[in-house]
Each structure stands twice: as C-alpha cells, then as structure tokens.
Amino acid sequence: MDPYQKEDVPSSLCCFTVLVLLVQGLGLTAVILVAVWMGHYLGGFAWSEDPARQFNYHPVFMVIGMIFLYADAILAYRVFRNINKLYVKIVHAGLHVGALIFSAVGLKAVFDFHNLSNIPNLYSLHSWIGLTTVVLFGLQWVCGIVSFLFPKLSYGARTRYMPQHVFWGLAIFGLAVGAALTGIMEKAWFMNFGKGSTFKYSELPAAGAVINCLGAAIIIMAILVFYLVTRPEYKRPKGPEEEEHIQLSTN
C-alpha cells in the first residue's frame, strides 16, 4: 500500500503547515536575536561615522538575507503548491533578489568596517565561506532565471537541470548556515578576547545566552527546511505541462 495515498494527504499537509510555521517562527527569532545582540549588547547601528557600529549591520542583514529570505525562497514552491506556477516563480525569484540586496549591503558594511579599522579583508574561514556562499547564490539565481523564467529552456532541458538546481540550492543554503555559525563564533571570540573586554563567554552572561539561542534557532530552522524539501509527500503536485509531457512520453 502506498503510504502517500490520497486519504493521507490532509494529515500530511497539516503537519507540513505546522513545520512551515515553525520555520517562520525560528527565522523571525533568529532575526530578532541578532538584532538584539548587535543593537543592545554591541552599541547599536550607525553608518560611516562609527565603523564598529556600521559592522553591526553585517550580521543582521546577512541573517535576514541568506538565512530567513533564502529559506522562504526554497520553500515557496511547496507553500504555494496550488498557485499558478508562473506566479510562484516570480515570488521565488523575488525573494532571492531581496536576499541578494540584504547580502550586498551586509558585505558593504563589513568591508567598510575592515578598511576603516585597518583590518585585513578575507583572512578568516568565516569570510571565505561567506563570500563563496554569496557568489554561488548569485550564480544560482542567474541560472534559475535563465532556465525557468526568462528566456526559459525547453521542457526537457528544464527537467534535466531541475535536480541540479534543487541540489545546489540546498547546498548553498547549507553553506549560508555554516557561514552564519562561524561568524557568530568569530564575533563571540572577539568579544571574549578583545582589548579591554569584560565579556566572559564561559560564564554564559545574558549576551552569551543570546548568542547560543541565535545559533540554535538557525540550526533547527535549517534542519526543518531540509526536511520539508526532501520529503516526497510535500512536493508540489504536477501541473498541466508536466502531466501532458508524461502522457506524450508514455504514448
């Protein structure tokens, strides 16, 4: 007996809805926690006149773009499963554009901070992972636009490319999570051992609890995203184009 028969669909979709809401809640929690960390414990936000506070935009914008918006873009086809596919493609591409904009501003903030503070750029593992992630994300977006939206490949070419697109989308999201976690720990290290620091991470002060909860929220959110995308019962039902192609191929 097929475990995904029609009568099992309502309960499956109910579970799906709960998990999607959990992803949204964890994503918003991560954004709030990183904003509290930067805004309350590290002096708030400024641009140009104060390099240290300009840096604070970097983690906030990267979490918004490469974690929260990216996760929503990945889930768009499953969340809007009964909406016209063209509209979902536009939503999917638009969320990626939003992620790219936030990421670009976030990178601008950290490069300005380094240059104004006479700190070398791109020396840490976090920076290598982070920049690689953004570059791959941009390339993935361009390939997706060309393949699926405009000018759009033939149906056969799109079908062959789709598994690669899905794989690299998840792989790049995994890199984004890795970049976020290494960045969190790098900043915690600087707080702990920076000049004149009174922050003792090992004693888990309030800021340390915020840091740990931020990392945990990102990890749990990523696990749920991977789960939702890889479960066959949550895939978007085949549309008229796919059904027509299947019928032609079987005749």
Q: How confident is the model at residue 34 (pLDDT cuts 50, 70, 90)?
A: very high
- Give the separation between CA 180 and CA 160, rounded to whole angstroms: 32
Q: How confident is the model at residue 6 (pLDDT cuts 50, 70, 90)?
A: very low
Question: What's residue 89's pLDDT?
Answer: 95
Residue 189 Cα to chain centre, angstroms: 24
Q: Which of 180, 185, 168, 173 is nearest to 224 (CA)?
A: 173
CA-CA distances (angstroms) from residue 56 to 12, 36, 69, 78, 113? 41, 11, 19, 34, 9
Residue found by looking up tokens 């405009």 in the block: 150
- Give the separation between CA 184 and CA 32, rounded to whole angstroms: 14
Mean pLDDT throughout 112-136? Answer: 97
Global pTM value:
0.91
- Give the separation between CA 132 and CA 12, rounded to whole angstroms: 36
- Evaluate whether residue 192 is within a structural domain: yes
- Evaluate whether residue 3 is within a structural domain: no
Q: What is the dihedral of CA 24, 27, 31, 34, to 10 degrees?
A: 150
Question: Angle 165-176-164 (CA atoms, 0-180°, nearest 5)?
Answer: 10
- Evaluate whether residue 4 is within a structural domain: no
- Evaluate whether residue 62 is within a structural domain: yes
Residue 242 has pLDDT above 60, yes or no: no
Question: Angle 135-96-13 (CA atoms, 0-180°, nearest 5)?
Answer: 130
Supply the CATH number for residue 216's domain. 1.20.120.1770
CB 199 within 8 A of CB 207: yes
Share of the chain above pLDDT 70, in %: 91
- Evaluate whether residue 251 is within a structural domain: no
Residue 10 has pLDDT above 80, yes or no: no
- Evaluate whether residue 57 is within a structural domain: yes
Q: Residue type for 38, please?
A: M
Overall domain count for the chain: 1
Q: Element (H or E) spanning 26, and its range?
A: helix 9-36
Residue 142 has pLDDT above 70, yes or no: yes
151 upstream amide cis, omega within 30 of 0 = yes
Q: Domain range holding 188?
A: 9-246
